[in-house]
Amino acid sequence: MNTASNGEVNMLSARNQFDGKVKSVKLGNVMAEVVVAVGDIEIVSVITRASAESLGLKGGDAVTAIIKSTEVLIDK
């Protein structure tokens, strides 16, 4: 479950959802690198520049990193 900026609740099938804060946004010509701090870890996402601008992402914003993946690698 994810709460949209308008206060409505969005239901998502992705189970891995992590609340965090945007640490940095680096805008490129087409893509944007967004670093989200979740506790002691950082999640780095590459999204389109248009999406980053549409969301108005900036450092300090509270966001939810939603991860849906067919593979998760574990190292020991």
Element (H, E) at 50: helix 49-55
Q: Residue 27's CB: how many other CB atoms inside 10 A?
A: 13
The two three-digit tokens of residue 5, written as one number: 């900026």
Closest alpha carbon to 16 in 70, 65, 71: 65
Question: Does pLDDT of 41 surpass 70?
Answer: yes
The pLDDT tens digits of the residues spanning 46-74 come to 999 999 999 999 999 999 999 988 788 88
Q: Which domains does the chain have, with CATH numbers?
A: 2-67 (2.40.50.100)
The pLDDT tens digits of the residues spanning 1-35 come to 555 556 666 777 778 899 999 999 999 999 999 99
Please state the pTM of the whole predicted model: 0.80
CA distance 72 to 53: 29
Q: Are strands 2-3 and 9-10 parallel, antiparallel or unpaired?
A: antiparallel
